[in-house]
Amino acid sequence: MKRITFNLGFTIIFTLTFFLLINTFSNVLVQALPTEEAPKPKPFLPGESLHISSCQKWSSHIRDFKVKDGEEAKQITILLYHRIIDDSAIKDIHYTKEGELYPTIVLKSEFKKQMQYLKDQGYTTLTNEELKLFIQNRHKIPKKSIVITFDDGFKDNYEEAYPILKKHEFTALNFVIASYITKNTMEYKEGEVQYFSASDIKNSCDVFEFQSHTYNLHKRTKEGVAFLVDRDQQQIKEDLKTSIEVIRPVRPTFAYPYGEYDKEARNALKQLNIGMAFTSEFKDTGPNISMLEIPRKPVYPTDTIEDFKKKIK
Amino acid sequence: MITAITIVLFVLFVGFQVLYIFIPLFCVKSPVKPSKRSEEAGITVLVPAYNEQNIILNCLQGILHLDYKNCETIFINDGSTDHTLELLDQSLTLKAVHRLPAYKLSYNEVNAVYQSERYPSIFVIDKHNGGKSDALNTGTDYAKHELVITLDADSVLDPNALTEINEAFLDEKVLAAGGMVQITQGFRGDFKRPTPVFSIPWLIRYQILQYLTNFYLHKTTQARLRSITVIAGAFGAFRKYALFEAEGYRKTVGEDMDITLRIQRLIKKRYRGHKLLFIPTAVCYTECPSNFKSLFSQRFRWQKGFIDCIFNFRKSFFRNLGFSVSTYLLLDSLILGTINAFPSIVIPIFLIFNKSYLFVVTLLLITILLAYQSIAAMIISTRYGVKYSRWDYVKIALFIPFEIVSYRLLGILFVTIGTILYFKDKEGWHSSERIGVKYQTFSEDINLPQEKIV
């Protein structure tokens, strides 16, 4: 009897010790497990929606910058980012054959410096609506105004860039490929190609203004022709319509994948009442330019902070 | 892929360690009562001796104190080049006798068979040197009784050892059994009432913990799972017909593991339902290496013997050896014991440079698991009457965690270097040096005539 009690006591203490230990270190242990059974991403199907309009309302508010005559901006820079990757997560796959980082990548450390510079210099980040009024020459904005945009909707925008932007009280436009948004939230793996989940979008819609980067036309044909150039007007129109249904922005705006487009694509935009579209033509933006050809300056991984300063001057 | 394999191995390792803790904990009754005495079956004790002049008399004292009538002892002098034979002659007063072997095994030429005039149940066979296995084959062939005990010359039998063996072999299904091997340096006082002590060199402390764990936990578990792979050469018991049918001992460094596997093969082939036992109450005391040099040479020898057996039986697994023996041997002994030792050296370095906490956490988990195992070994030991003083338990408690992260790691070296040595030099083997200090005594040593000849 005494032995049985002792044995049971020993067993219980043993079990408890390991339960506590494993519980304490479960994070470390789980990370070591092979994640073959990772859930599959579930996309938004045509007709489904994110329902984020209520948390995007802020983007339609026009601020009065109280700019005195003669001090308003004549030209502003629109920055274009794609991926923000933490320096420690950079692997071989992030390098081109020539041994350079892909031009769509910006290191987190660099991004931090750039945002800090903008903050230190007192820059204001404009919303889509404010930019539109500026181009239409209907609203005065400060000389130190800037527009930050992201293309494709990578998950790292949420994990890495969002906290930095939020800290500096900046806002940015984020052009997402609607069919890549996942309904379920996938575990974030630094450096890997992952896209926004619905919850990522909802958690960052106070900083990002989400806009369409097509539903599923961010591709090229085998011959290397961008789909937006290759496909006919009807197909493009259908696709964009689907993307707008998913995102439902306050004022639909568009960014051309790869910055490539043709007349049919522009006609499709017009038919859908999409009045603004961004390219990646390396230029500053001033009043009275074409609303469907708004230029942007991509930020490259090779840019030093000096290059960045020049870029926005 | 590598992670997956590592995890599978890790889980297997943990699984085995948990079994080793809980099977004995729930199977060993406390306190273990001494067996009642049944009729004594005849037993022959075989003591192969090659240059054992420093310690052979300790062994003889143990035999003279045996509390068992129906037994004979045969010392096999395997062509010693020292005074082993003269010492025995002096102590026993030998006279040549005519004795015929069974002629069932082959071995090197026998010079003479002697009988002691003082103790007529003790015999000495003098033969040409042929190694331990050859000596054991000789002894088996000359043995009179149906039960054969093999005992190392550096080991001293507990007075009750044969009684316990006899009780266990009442079961006809038992073909062979291993006894409990205790380390003599860990005990003081009379062999009849030994007192365990822990105020001893750390190298010996390490081996004591290891022996208690290996025998009381691992062997108990293996016996339960019917997967005993080694009956320690120091102290084993066999039915003679099993040794004959297994065709005796093979000349190898690990002849004890070899004969055990041969008997397991017999069980699979001819003696279904028969078994090997571990008899924890049958005790012998053996001297363990007391310095690193001899410890290393002993362990390298063990590892070489192990690898040699695996090679020798490589085609027998599952076909000629039972499922549980094969599984145990391949999984626990080979994969976890040997193959794992190699990545064990590389993985920590890899993980440290990979700045992962995983290594630290895993190490912590293993340490605690193994500490639990040592604690379980101490608990089971008390059930078999090995009780330390309170102060010693404090020392043990402090020593256990230290041992796991220090001495225990020597095991990796033993396995690695032993394996490499096996492939470099398959024949060579060195006997560890015996010092022959008496740590334990019999309250009344039986007086043996002795001149100084050593």
Using a CB–CB cut-off of 8 Å, the residues of B that contact A are 3-4, 7, 21-22, 25-26, 29-30, 356-358, 361, 364-365, 368-369, 372, 376, 379
Q: Per the CB < 8 Å rule, is B358 touching A18? A: no
The confidence band for B454, taking pLDDT boundaries of 50, 70 and 90, is: very low
pLDDT of res. A250: 85
Do B35 and B281 touch, CB atoms closer than 8 A?
yes
Q: Has residue B316 got a pLDDT over 60?
A: yes
The confidence band for B8, taking pLDDT boundaries of 50, 70 and 90, is: confident
Q: Is the pTM of this model over 0.80?
A: no
Q: Has residue B97 got a pLDDT over 90?
A: yes
In a domain, B448, yes or no: no
pLDDT of res. A23: 85
Counted residue by residue, chain A has a size of 313
More confident position, B249 or B454: B249
Q: What is the CATH number of the domain that holds B109?
A: 3.90.550.10
In a domain, B291, yes or no: yes
Distance from CA of A7 to the nearest CA of B (A): 7
Burial label, B331 (beta-carbon count in 10 A; 0-12, 13-18, 19+): middle
The confidence band for A187, taking pLDDT boundaries of 50, 70 and 90, is: confident
CATH 3.20.20.370, domain A53-312, yes or no: yes
Task: Please give the tally of structural domains in chain B.
Answer: 1
Distance from CA of A93 to the nearest CA of B (A): 18
Picking from B11-20, B92-101, B142-151, which range would have the lowest pLDDT averaged per residue?
A: B11-20
Amino acid at B78: D
Express as a percent the part of chain B with pLDDT over 70: 88
Residue A28 sits at the chain B interface (C-beta within 8 Å): yes
pLDDT of res. A54: 87
The beta strands (E) that lie in chain A are given as 77-81, 83-85, 105-107, 124-125, 145-152, 172-176, 208-212, 253-255, 276-278, 297-298
In a domain, B369, yes or no: yes
Do B404 and B372 touch, CB atoms closer than 8 A?
no
Residue A19 sits at the chain B interface (C-beta within 8 Å): no
Task: Render pLDDT for B281-305 as a digit per residue (tens, 0 to 9).
Answer: 999 999 999 999 999 989 998 999 9
In a domain, B306, yes or no: yes
Strand A297-298 to strand B43-49: parallel, antiparallel, or no bridges (unpaired)?
unpaired
Distance from CA of A184 to the nearest CA of B (A): 26
The confidence band for A27, taking pLDDT boundaries of 50, 70 and 90, is: confident
Range of the domain at B246: 2-431
Express as a percent the part of chain B with pLDDT over 90: 63
The confidence band for A35, taking pLDDT boundaries of 50, 70 and 90, is: low
In a domain, B445, yes or no: no
- Alpha-carbon distances of B129 from B73, B77, B107, rounded to whole Å: 20, 8, 10
Q: Has residue A177 got a pLDDT over 60?
A: yes
Mutation choice for B interface testing from A5, A7, A27, A30 by most B CBs within 10 A? A7
Strand B110-116 to strand B155-157: parallel, antiparallel, or no bridges (unpaired)?
unpaired
Q: Say how far apart CA A57 and CA B106 lie, in whole Å.
A: 98
The confidence band for B343, taking pLDDT boundaries of 50, 70 and 90, is: low
Chain B residues inside the 8 Å CB shell of A22: 365
Q: For B376, name the nearest residue in chain A, comparing CA atoms only.
A: A10
pLDDT of res. B146: 95
Q: Per the CB < 8 Å rule, is B3 touching A3? A: no
In a domain, B59, yes or no: yes
Task: Render pLDDT for B197-247 as a digit per residue (tens, 0 to 9).
Answer: 999 999 999 999 999 999 999 999 999 999 999 999 999 999 999 999 999
Q: Per the CB < 8 Å rule, is A29 touching B358? A: yes
Q: For A35, name the nearest residue in chain B, comparing CA atoms only.
A: B4
The confidence band for A185, taking pLDDT boundaries of 50, 70 and 90, is: confident
In a domain, B68, yes or no: yes
In a domain, B120, yes or no: yes
Q: Per the CB < 8 Å rule, is B368 touching A21? A: yes
Residue A75 sits at the chain B interface (C-beta within 8 Å): no
Which sequence spans correspond to the domains of chain A? 2-32, 53-312
Q: Has residue B100 got a pLDDT over 60?
A: yes
Backbone dihedral angles phi then psi of residue B116, each to the nearest 5 degrees: -80, 135
pLDDT of res. B427: 56
The confidence band for B432, taking pLDDT boundaries of 50, 70 and 90, is: very low
